[in-house]
Structure 1
Amino acid sequence: MELPLGEDVIHFLADKFNLLSPGETILKAEKAGEGNMNVVLRITTNFRSVILKQSRPFVHKYPQIPAPFERISVEKAFYDTIAGQTRLASMTPSPLAFDEESQLLALEDLGASSDFTAIYSDSAKITDSEIVRLAEFLFELHSLQVDSFPSNTPMKVLNHAHIFSIPFLETPPINLNSVQPGLEEIAQPFRYDNVLKKAIGVIGNRYLLTGKTLLHGDFYPGSWLKSADGIYIIDTEFAFLGDREFDLGVLIAHLAMAGIEEGKIHLALETYETTELILSLLRNYAGVEILRRLFGVAQLPLMLTLEEKFKLANLAKTMILDA
């Protein structure tokens, strides 16, 4: 069933979730944020507010793209896995209730907050201390000893297609000139570069393997929230066991696309501080993330000229081929 509204909200919160206190009544239900994957509502009562999040068998923002219905189960499993880790749990919303049949998750409302996508237009929107905190979160997450976690294979396969395959199709599903006139012409040489595409294919095959490290799986500015209390990390439905270099590579890629100066990017790497990193693999994943965001379906609000995007794409190519 779809995310309940009206009287059905009362049924879920009061009867199925047992979340409404005596005398607590629902005042309103409204969209919470601009999420791509799922339906997310803020339910406000006369006492408080909670977040309801539900997956559908397609991508909420792009209904034409099928997506695994069970992905909210993975998000719940992520929160359960880190529940005993005080610092990690303090940077994520607390799960309040979960209904597996409808893939409906009730979460703590983090209050007034905004994601970090503003850094694409103003790199000053992220501070050194915030970069450090993001890197610390990843290091702590990747340091967990996790015996088992859902394979999340359907989501990995979906993500694999949009990271390693679709952006490099010679006939892609998106006309990039509708994003920015002239971008399609910039993308063409990369789409016809068989050496580059073969290297990306190898990296993609590694991504599909099962690793030993719990990853967030989509660690980009849209999954980082800034509030008066600090930084929170959300949207963990992409989580899986894999290469730690993937999460960190995505972080580095987005800092680069936002025009963050090189010294601050090194700050993130220094904060992560582990000799276990395979730096060449880190560069590979970062390079692919840059290219897929420039030429794929999942576009970002990048405030870059065509010349800047071309330069960035060539840097990414170097990171993939020369790492």
Structure 2
Amino acid sequence: MTEAQAGDYRILHEAALRDYLAGLPDIAARLGNEPVSWSITEVGDGNLNLVFIVKGDRGGIAVKQALPYVRLVGESWPLPLSRAHYEFLALSKQAELAPGLVPAVLHHNDGLALTVMELLEPHIIMRKGLVAGTRYPRFVDDITTFMARTLFFTSDLALSTAEKKEAIAAFAGNHALCKITEDLIFTDPYRIAEQNRWTAPYLDALAADLRDDMELHVAISRLKLKFMASPEALLHGDLHTGSIMVTESETRVIDPEFAFYGPMGFDLGAVLANLLMAYFASSGHERVPGERREFEGWVLETVEQVWNEFARKFLDLWRTKAGGDAYPVSLFSGEQGAARLEIERQAYMQRLFTDTVGFTAAKTIRRIFGLAHNIDFELIEDPKQRAISEARAVRLARAMMVETGTYRTIADVTGAARKLRDWMPELSN
């Protein structure tokens, strides 16, 4: 249910949240016993919001409330509360298109910018599992189903022009979150920016190189333009391994508050970039040299399977579920038309792969030189070893962004990553 009441926003800390939830009969019944006995713990470790775990004797829930500023920075960086509305819209659409792969929404209040969701237990944030060297056998099938279905069914391949334009309009107001992406991913890492940081002093020279690399500046600017001007499908908008909760048998995608209509390759690139960063960071978490080689092999195998399975599922949907105004069936009738359309489908996927390669690179560089970093690297205790792992990732990312056309298949990407696994960069002192 949705309640929108202008002017009723207030930050709900423990006592106020308890009272609010007690006034929701379905939620109170789900928790059980008396509200005074509910345990309420604030667990938000992200950059933007408050997140509470609430438990009673019958069960638990997760509560997410947007703050009117960027939590990572503070009140000096205000941010619209409307992002909670767009997150609710995105979760609702994703639940429709990819059932069972997002948390169930139990209650939403627009005025409070608050959403109550099912509590995911014993799921953990996937990134934490990867740092520990854990493998997730369900991940490939689940994440590729999620991406193939959410991207295909919100694209012109599945929607009429009117449906697509109305859908774009529904998310167009989420421009403040898009602006964060435009600055933090596509602009700030390549210039002097107050929020930038990196593993100093070891990466000082590499940071300076990024600021002087005009070929890289052109490449990232092209990607930024595509991000701003290509509303291909409804994106999650922040689909990294910190926005995926997993067990060995289940996968749930969370936190789509950056959702908007943009280029499909951005979501795909986000997933692949975070897997590749987990790969490059892995050696820094070893206690004994070489002990994580099998895990690293699994990560690169997962990278390949994510693209290959996504492409297979997406193409299958196009062949069997196409109903949009793009590529009208009437233009491709008969055996000759069907054959020509299949050639075009393959060309479409190759263009999408090229976009994905570029966005993978952009997401990697941003996490090493921008504002918010990954624990994959950050939890490497030795800063020099951390810098070595990061430099390897950046070397691959720069090549993928500037020489995108040389990566024709996903095996080209994993092969290049494998070659850099033991490469020793020259670091600043």
TM-score for the superposition, normalised by structure 2: 0.69
Say which is worse superposed, 189-198 or 14-23, in terms of deviation. 14-23
Instruction: Quote the Cα distance in structure 1 between the aligned partners of 2:122 and 2:138.
Output: 20
Query: Of 283, 307, 310, which aligns to 1:272?
Result: 310
Q: In structure 2, give the amino acid aligned to 1:58.
A: Y
Q: 1:80 to 1:129 in 2, by over 3 A?
A: closer
Residue 144 (structure 1) aligned with residue 182 (structure 2): no
Alignment of 1:160-199 (within 5 A): 160-176=182-198, 179-199=199-219
2:240 corresponding residue in structure 1: 220
Query: Of 206, 223, 234, which aligns to 1:203?
Result: 223
Figure out how many residues of one structure are paired with residues of the other and give that number.
318
Contact kept, 8 Å, 1:120 with 1:257, in 2: the verdict is no
- Deviation track 1:213-266 (CA, whole Å, cap 9, x = no partner) reads 111111111011113651111111111111111111111111111114443311
Alignment of 1:27-42 (within 5 A): 27-42=38-53
Instruction: Quote the Cα distance in structure 2 between the aligned partners of 1:69 and 1:240.
Output: 16
Structure 1 runs of 4+ off > 6 angstroms?
none
Alignment of 1:69-84 (within 5 A): 69-84=81-96
1:184 shift after superposition: 2.5
Q: In structure 1, give the amino acid aligned to 2:397.
A: A
- DSSP 3-state at the match of 2:371: coil
Unaligned runs of 5+ in 1: none
Query: Of 50, 62, 66, which aligns to 1:55?
Result: 66
Contact kept, 8 Å, 1:82 with 1:89, in 2: the verdict is yes
Instruction: Quote the Cα distance in structure 1 between the aligned partners of 2:301 and 2:386.
Output: 23
Alignment of 1:17-36 (within 5 A): 19-21=27-29, 24-26=33-35, 27-36=38-47
Query: C-alpha root-mean-square deviation of aligned residues, in Å?
Result: 2.3
Query: Of 351, 356, 363, which aligns to 1:282?
Result: 356
Contact kept, 8 Å, 2:138 with 2:251, in 1: the verdict is no
Residue 239 (structure 1) aligned with residue 259 (structure 2): yes
- Deviation track 1:166-201 (CA, whole Å, cap 9, x = no partner) reads 11113543342xx45412332110121122112211
1:9 shift after superposition: 2.3
- DSSP 3-state at the match of 2:182: helix
Query: Of 93, 96, 110, which aligns to 2:106?
Result: 96
Q: 1:251 to 1:6 in 2, by over 3 A?
A: closer
Contact kept, 8 Å, 1:221 with 1:254, in 2: the verdict is yes
- Deviation track 1:264-318 (CA, whole Å, cap 9, x = no partner) reads 3111111112443322211111111111111111111214543332232121111
1:46 corresponding residue in structure 2: 57
- Deviation track 1:27-67 (CA, whole Å, cap 9, x = no partner) reads 22101352222100012223221111111121223214333
1:68 shift after superposition: 2.6
Instruction: Quote the Cα distance in structure 2 between the aligned partners of 1:38 and 1:322.
Output: 38
Q: 1:283 to 1:83 in 2, by over 3 A?
A: closer
1:17 shift after superposition: 7.1
Say which is worse superposed, 189-198 or 127-136, in terms of deviation. 127-136
Say which is worse superposed, 28-37 or 312-321, in terms of deviation. 28-37
Q: In structure 2, give the amino acid aligned to 1:174.
A: N
Q: 1:97 to 1:322 in 2, by over 3 A?
A: same
1:154 corresponding residue in structure 2: 176
- DSSP 3-state at the match of 2:58: coil
- DSSP 3-state at the match of 2:48: coil
Q: In structure 2, give the amino acid aligned to 1:299.
A: H
Residue 14 (structure 1) aligned with residue 22 (structure 2): yes
Unaligned runs of 5+ in 2: 1-8, 280-295, 316-345, 405-429
Q: 1:290 to 1:184 in 2, by over 3 A?
A: same
1:202 shift after superposition: 1.8
1:16 shift after superposition: 5.7
Instruction: Quote the Cα distance in structure 2 between the aligned partners of 1:93 and 1:186.
Output: 40
2:144 corresponding residue in structure 1: 135
Instruction: Quote the Cα distance in structure 2 between the aligned partners of 1:254 and 1:175.
Output: 19
Q: 1:17 to 1:290 in 2, by over 3 A?
A: farther
Paired-residue identity, %? 20
